[in-house]
Amino acid sequence: MTNGIPPSQALSAILRRRRLPLATPEWKTVPWQSVPKDMKDILVDVLVELPGLVEDLDTMRNCVDQDERDTLQRNLVARCWECDAQLMGWSEILLQIIIPRPRKGPDSNPDSESGSGSKPGPYPDPGPGPDPRPNPSPSPSPTQCKRAASSLESSTSGPPSSDKARPSKDIVSYIAQVHGMGLFWITSLVLYTVLRAVTLPEQGEGGNALSERTNTTNHARKLVGAIEILLRPEAGLYGRQSAALMIDVALEYTALIDQGSPDGDQILVETLRRLNESPLSFGGG
């Protein structure tokens, strides 16, 4: 539960392809004036922007005036990069929680971790070279991102064992972590699907091809793994409720991945359909 917009409301809006009227700076700040945001709340700030991106993608595709269409595309690309910056920043914050940085000493090198000497924060930059995003800010290095991803994957690799009839606190906490990472991967899946739909390869960061972190197949695979965990019996009703909208969004966007060579992606789609028809999911009745 959040003080702001519930993740389920954002996921429903993605499926409707209509922006959320409450996805405004006020709704991202006013409810939190006396209550600090947790990691899920920070992530939801990015998630609530996605319905608007999807709606604007449809508007751009339906636009017949080429000049207006080009303007819409440029604006959409810029907003996608802004969301990417916030998403990368969320990863950096989580990295600092999972792998705390050592205290700086007299012999420490401030550039050894980030590679740039910039302060860590929620709005990263892509590194050296030109940046297509407006107002770029510091980012975690590729090494940091890989370490974070490895830590995140290991944190959702399997639930703590418990022989008790009631779920232990460890299992409840574990399922909540999986749900949080599911939101991260579904946010990444939708965001980078839109970004790749409006960005030519030569328009990536620094004029190069889009980076590996925008590979939607990787995010879809991790999302499927999270959904499978949420549908396990020990995840209970919370897991089933958390997985329901994720499956619907994942089915729609995974089917769009690399349709020219869909062998691996077809396996993901079939897995999602099987999960949706599972007796443990709401789709399976």
**107 assigned to some structural domain:** no
Per-residue pLDDT, 166: 44
Q: What is the pTM of this model?
A: 0.74
Residue 65 backbone zone (phi > 0: left; psi -120 to 50: alpha; other: beta): beta
Task: Report the C-alpha gap between 218 and 136 in whole angstroms.
Answer: 25
Number of domains the chain is built from: 1
Q: Write the single-letter amino acid at 237.
A: L
Do residues 80 and 194 make contact, with C-beta atoms less than 8 angstroms apart?
yes
Per-residue pLDDT, 73: 94
Per-residue pLDDT, 84: 95
**136 assigned to some structural domain:** yes
pLDDT single digits (tens) 77-116? 999 999 999 999 998 888 888 776 665 555 545 444 433 3
Per-residue pLDDT, 85: 94
Share of the chain above pLDDT 70, in %: 64
**256 assigned to some structural domain:** yes
pLDDT single digits (tens) 182-241? 999 999 999 999 999 998 655 555 555 688 889 888 898 899 889 989 888 888 888 888
**285 assigned to some structural domain:** no
**The pLDDT of residue 158 is above 70:** no
**109 assigned to some structural domain:** no
Q: Where are the alpha helices (DSSP H) in the chain?
A: 7-16, 25-29, 39-47, 50-62, 66-98, 111-114, 142-155, 169-198, 216-230, 236-254, 263-276
**284 assigned to some structural domain:** no
**2 assigned to some structural domain:** no
Q: Which domain holds residue 52?
A: 7-100+115-278
Per-residue pLDDT, 83: 95
**243 assigned to some structural domain:** yes
